[in-house]
A and B are shown apart, each in its own frame.
Chain A
């Protein structure tokens, strides 16, 4: 079956540091890959997505590249801000958006 593995948190960084959150997946076929973000007290929001190999999703300074050869979709940001503190979920779907399989989530804490 499908599964998503992402690094455990919390990840603690200082403002303007470089961020990487690792995500690897197991799936049949060619899934679509997603990163969701959950700010405190709010629902999950789609941050970025990629639907095929070598696609790069990007939004709000975050980016992730769909790497089929390593089955990975690592999230990166060059310079984090305090406002980026949240929980980040990697997810996949092999049927469009119909069914999402999530990783456990990684909490990011950014200090001034």
Chain B
């Protein structure tokens, strides 16, 4: 099946710094990528949807200036958490979807801890 990777798998940073998380589709071209956030014992919450070469569409309540999403190629999307604060600590999951069917393929997630 289709494989999606995320890097890093976990990251610890200081408050006020920025962190970039990469999401890659390894064996297919992802025209659309999705970014989710998951709190402990909570469901996955969609943060934004990005289509290759265009601006991301953010869900209500998600700060687009804080969570910068770039989808510059058909195999890579990045999420940058700018000026991170402890409340941004969470598990971030991406998914990718190609053109051949509508299924979303998920990455393994990135655990972000902001001190």
Count of B residues near A, CB < 8 Å? 19
Q: Do B106 and A44 touch across chains, with their CB atoms under 8 A apart?
A: yes
Residues of B within 8 A of A44 (CB): 44, 93, 95, 106
Cβ of B46 < 8 Å from any Cβ of A?
Answer: yes
Q: Do B93 and A102 touch across chains, with their CB atoms under 8 A apart?
A: no
Checking A41, A43, A98, A99 against B105 with a beta-carbon cut-off of 8 angstroms, the contacting residue is A43
Q: Do B103 and A97 touch across chains, with their CB atoms under 8 A apart?
A: yes
Checking A8, A89, A98 against B44 with a beta-carbon cut-off of 8 angstroms, the contacting residue is A89
Q: Do A97 and B102 touch across chains, with their CB atoms under 8 A apart?
A: yes
A-B contact count (CB 8 A): 43
Q: Do B104 and A100 touch across chains, with their CB atoms under 8 A apart?
A: yes
A11 to B78, CA, bound (A): 35
Q: Do B97 and A97 touch across chains, with their CB atoms under 8 A apart?
A: yes
Residues of B within 8 A of A96 (CB): 102
Residues of B within 8 A of A46 (CB): 103
- A residues near B (Cβ < 8 Å) are 4, 8, 36, 41-46, 89, 96-105
Additional 17 contacts, C-beta under 8 A, given A43-B109, A44-B95, A46-B103: A8-B41, A36-B106, A42-B108, A43-B93, A43-B95, A43-B106, A45-B1, A89-B43, A96-B102, A99-B46, A100-B44, A100-B46, A100-B104, A101-B43, A102-B43, A103-B43, A105-B41
What are 11 A-B contacts with C-beta separation under 8 Å? Answer: A43-B95, A43-B108, A43-B109, A44-B106, A97-B103, A98-B49, A98-B102, A99-B46, A100-B44, A103-B43, A104-B42
